[in-house]
């Protein structure tokens, strides 16, 4: 990291926010509400495109589970992320949405949605609030770096140097790049010596080598109420059979474990093996006893179908695993139902990922998410190195990080915050 700041704040200029996603817009809202002039620049023709896409099937804002359960959702990043949530938690997010006229409700899964079940009404109200508060939005304006201490943007083929009172980078990660998050903000900061890691897919489907017969008959069918185990971690939920493998909430929850297992497999430590429990609410003993009662004259498939009430997709899934010995007893069959071994061969790429892991190293930041050694330069949202599963946890933390940064900018402007101490 350079000993002197590459960014040179200009006290006579607005705060410049790079990125018009949820984190950047939240920063702009909080700062403008405090009377600070704000300009938002985004490389896409319109703001918050990923938010709009995520809201097509129901915008999952946050989750209603007790806050003390949230740390388990953020893995190694939990201490820092929970500090963000202490400043802007699930109820704060619901109150904020309600204030925009997007009244929320709790679904049967505990997830929280706006009653409109889409993002567009909330975004329209949000942009109207920002406009009323004097925020200026520049679309089609791509940040390309710094020149003489000021951010430089490309817009309509022209380069513009725009002095800034403070600079907030909230360009997102690198998932769904066609919607705006292409990782470019990370590259620019790397050129300034800001440490970080490359982006990797998170909340993404896993690849398996299905047979053509299995794909033809069962692609698009769900595996309901199953439990998945990988690296001693077990999650319950649902998964969807796809042509390339499996996707869905249960797979997404295992993202970090999947990446580690695949890395070890590439290093020669054996295959990345996933185990699917088709009957997580029943023990192997109960299943074995039920199998024993099935007529011995039935084929193995029919005995399994009758005793365990397996659906066709579940029976077919069993045939995708290595076969049991011909003389396997009822206990062995029951154990197989409790852990169908499947080999994961890879993950879908960033272009298909809901979110990404990797980004700016959080250890390089102050608690207010300012880059240590770069006074006035802040980072928010998914550009930071953390990840979360679907279910509202991702958007909740993105929005909370925007609140932390906005408050940090205000403190820094007021001269109340230290500028050189990292977390």
140 and 284 together in one domain: no
Q: Residue 57's pLDDT is what?
A: 74
Q: Residue 12's pLDDT is what?
A: 95
Phi, psi of 284 (to 5 degrees): -65, -35
Out of 302, 318, 347, a domain closes at 347
94 and 170 together in one domain: yes
Out of 319, 347, 375, a domain closes at 347
User: Number of structural domains, the chain?
Assistant: 2
Query: Which structural domain, as residue segments, surrounds residue 248?
Result: 210-347
Sign of CA dihedral 294, 299, 301, 305: negative
99 domain residue, yes or no? yes
User: Which residues on adjacent β-strands are paired with residue 196?
Assistant: 360
282 and 192 together in one domain: no
**pLDDT digit string (tens) for 252-287?**
999 999 999 999 999 999 999 999 999 999 999 999
197 and 128 together in one domain: yes
Q: Which of 174, 249, 257, 251 is nearest to 207 (CA)?
A: 251
Alpha-helical runs (H) found in 309-387: 312-318, 330-337
- Which residues fall within 8 angstroms of residue 383, CB to CB, at 6 or more apart? 19, 23, 169, 170, 171, 172, 173, 185, 186, 359, 360
Residues of the chain with pLDDT under 50: 1-4, 416-423
41 and 158 together in one domain: yes
330 and 398 together in one domain: no
422 domain residue, yes or no? no
Q: Which of 295, 341, 344 is nearest to 322 (CA)?
A: 341
- Which residues fall within 8 angstroms of residue 137, CB to CB, at 6 or more apart? 20, 39, 40, 42, 47, 127, 130, 131
User: Angle 330-337/300-308 helices, nearest 10 degrees?
Assistant: 60
Q: Which of 348, 344, 369, 361 is nearest to 419 (CA)?
A: 369
Q: Residue 5's pLDDT is what?
A: 61
User: Which residues on adjacent β-strands are paired with residue 18?
Assistant: 41, 169
35 and 176 together in one domain: yes
Q: Which of 32, 11, 242 is nearest to 136 (CA)?
A: 32
| Strand (E) or helix (H) holding 196 | strand 196-202
224 and 155 together in one domain: no
149 and 34 together in one domain: yes
Q: Residue 303's pLDDT is what?
A: 84
186 and 290 together in one domain: no
CA distances from 224 to 228, 237, 243, 336 (A): 11, 7, 18, 17
Phi, psi of 187 (to 5 degrees): -65, -40
122 and 215 together in one domain: no
Q: Residue 300's pLDDT is what?
A: 81
2 domain residue, yes or no? no
Can you give the CATH number for the domain in which 363 is found? Answer: 3.50.50.60
150 and 33 together in one domain: yes
């Amino acid at each position: 990291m350079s000993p002197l700041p590459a960014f040179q704040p200009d006290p006579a200029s607005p705060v410049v926010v790079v990125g018009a996603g949820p984190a950047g817009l939240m920063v702009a809202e909080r700062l403008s509400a405090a009377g600070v002039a704000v300009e938002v620049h985004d490389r896409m023709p319109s703001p918050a495109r990923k938010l709009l896409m995520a809201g097509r099937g129901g915008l999952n804002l946050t989750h209603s589970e007790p806050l003390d359960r949230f740390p388990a959702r953020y893995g190694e990043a939990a201490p820092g992320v929970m500090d963000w949530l202490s400043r802007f938690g699930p109820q704060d997010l619901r109150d904020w949405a309600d204030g925009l006229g997007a009244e929320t409700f709790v679904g049967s899964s505990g997830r929280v949605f706006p009653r409109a079940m889409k993002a567009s009404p909330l975004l329209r109200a949000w942009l109207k609030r920002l406009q009323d508060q004097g925020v200026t939005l520049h679309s089609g304006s791509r940040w390309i770096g710094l020149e003489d201490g000021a951010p430089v943007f490309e817009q309509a083929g022209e380069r513009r140097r725009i002095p800034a009172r403070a600079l907030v980078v909230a360009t997102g990660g690198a998932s769904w790049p066609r919607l705006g998050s292409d990782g470019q903000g990370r590259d620019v900061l790397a050129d300034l010596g800001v440490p970080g890691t490359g982006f990797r897919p998170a909340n993404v489907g896993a690849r398996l080598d299905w047979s053509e017969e299995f794909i033809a008959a069962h692609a698009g069918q769900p595996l309901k109420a199953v439990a998945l185990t990988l690296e001693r971690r077990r999650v319950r939920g649902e998964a969807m059979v796809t042509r390339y493998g499996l996707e869905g909430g249960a797979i997404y929850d295992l993202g970090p474990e999947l990446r580690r297992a695949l890395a070890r497999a590439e290093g020669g430590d054996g295959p990345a093996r996933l185990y699917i429990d088709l009957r997580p609410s029943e023990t192997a003993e109960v299943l074995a006893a039920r199998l024993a009662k099935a007529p011995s004259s039935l084929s193995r498939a029919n005995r399994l179908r009758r005793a365990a009430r397996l659906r066709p997709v579940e029976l077919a899934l069993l045939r995708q695993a290595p076969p049991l010995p011909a003389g396997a007893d009822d206990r062995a069959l029951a154990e197989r139902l409790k852990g169908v071994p499947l080999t994961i061969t890879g993950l879908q790429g960033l272009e298909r990922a809901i979110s990404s892991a990797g980004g700016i190293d959080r250890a390089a930041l102050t608690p207010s998410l300012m880059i240590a050694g770069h006074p006035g330069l802040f980072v928010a949202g998914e550009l930071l190195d953390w990840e979360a599963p679907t279910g509202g946890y991702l958007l909740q933390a993105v929005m909370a990080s925007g609140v932390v940064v906005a408050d940090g900018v205000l403190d820094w402007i007021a001269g109340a915050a230290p500028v050189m101490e990292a977390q």
